[in-house]
Structure 1
Amino acid sequence: MEFKMTEGGFTTEFEYGNLDISGNEEHGFRPYQLLVSSVAVCSGGVLRKVLEKMRYSFDDIKVTADIKRNEEEANRVERIKLTFHIKTEQWDENKIEKAMSLTRKNCSMVQSVQNSIEVVEEAEWVKP
C-alpha cells in the first residue's frame, strides 16, 4: 500500500476507489474509525460465514461498536465492545456461543489487536 499526503491528510487507491484518511473528519476517515471498522466488519463477516457453515438460519446481522478511548495516552483505543444483533426466527444459545467463539478465533483483526486492545463481543436476538 502507498499513502500520499494531501492538504488535509493522506489518500490511497484501492480496487474499489480512493480512501481519504485524516485526523480531521472534514478531510477523510479518522484512523480510529478505520481501526474499529476493521475489527467490527472482520468479526461480522467471520460470524456470517460461521453461521452459514453451521446451517444456522438468520436473516440479518448488524454490528454495533462501543469504543473506550484514553485521552491521557494519545487518545488510544483501549476497548471495543461489539454487539452482534442477529435477526433470526429461532435462538439457540449453545450454537450462538459456539459461533461467537469460532468468530473470535478466526477474525484476523481481533487476533491482531488482542494484546493491546480489549475486544468484548456479545450477541443479541432480533426477532423478525
Structure 2
Amino acid sequence: MKFVMKENGFETEVEYGKLQICGDEKYGFRPYQLLVSAIAVCSGGVLRKVLEKKRLTYSDVTVTTEIERNEKKANSVEKIHMHFIITGKDLTKEVVEKCLHVTRKNCSMVQSVEGSIEITESFEIISV
C-alpha cells in the first residue's frame, strides 16, 4: 500500500476506492478507528465462516465495540471489547462459545495484536 500526504492527513487507493486517513475525523478515518474496525470486521467475518461450516442457521451478526485507550502512552489502544449479537435459529450458548473460540484463533487481526492489545468478547443470541 502507498500512502500519500494530503493537506489534511493521508490517502491511499485500494481496489474499492480511496481511503482518507487523518487524526481529525473531519477529514477522514482516524487511525484507531481503522485498527478497531479491522479487528471487529475480521472477527465477524471469521465467525460467519465458522457458523456456515458448522451448518448453523443464522440471519445476522452484529459486532459492537468498546475501546480503552491510554492517554499516558500516546493514547494507545490497550483494550478492545467486542460484543457479538447473533440472530439465528437453534443456537445455544455452548455452541456460540465454541464458535467464538475458533474465531479468535483464526482471526488474523486478533492474532496480529495478541500480547499488545487485550481483546475480550461477549455475545447475545437473538432467536428467530
**TM-score range, shorter-chain basis?**
over 0.9
Shift of 1:32: 0.1
Q: Which residue does the alignment assign to 2:97?
A: 97
1:33-112 to structure 2, matched below 5 A, reads 33-112=33-112
Identity %: 56
In structure 2, list runs of 5 or more residues that go unmatched: none
Q: Distance in 2 between matches of 1:5 and 1:28?
A: 13
In structure 1, list runs of 5 or more residues that go unmatched: none
Q: Distance in 2 between matches of 1:100 and 1:17?
A: 31
- SS state at 1:45 partner: helix
Shift of 1:127: 3.1
Question: Is residue 81–residue 119 contact of structure 2 (8 Å, CA) maintained in 1?
Answer: yes
Aligned length: 128
Shift of 1:8: 0.4
Q: Normalized per residue, which structure has more strand?
A: 2
Question: Is residue 56–residue 91 contact of structure 2 (8 Å, CA) maintained in 1?
Answer: no
Q: Distance in 2 between matches of 1:7 and 1:18?
A: 15
- SS state at 1:97 partner: helix
Shift of 1:6: 0.2
Query: What is the CA deviation profile of residues 35-55 of structure 1, one whole-angstrom value per residue up to 9, with x for unaligned ones?
Result: 000000000000000000000
Task: Compute the TM-score of the two structures, normalised by the length of structure 2.
Answer: 0.97
Indicate the RMSD between aligned Cα atoms, in angstroms.
0.8
AA aligned to 2:126 is V
Q: Which residue does the alignment assign to 1:124?
A: 124
Task: Compute the TM-score of the two structures, normalised by the length of structure 1.
Answer: 0.97
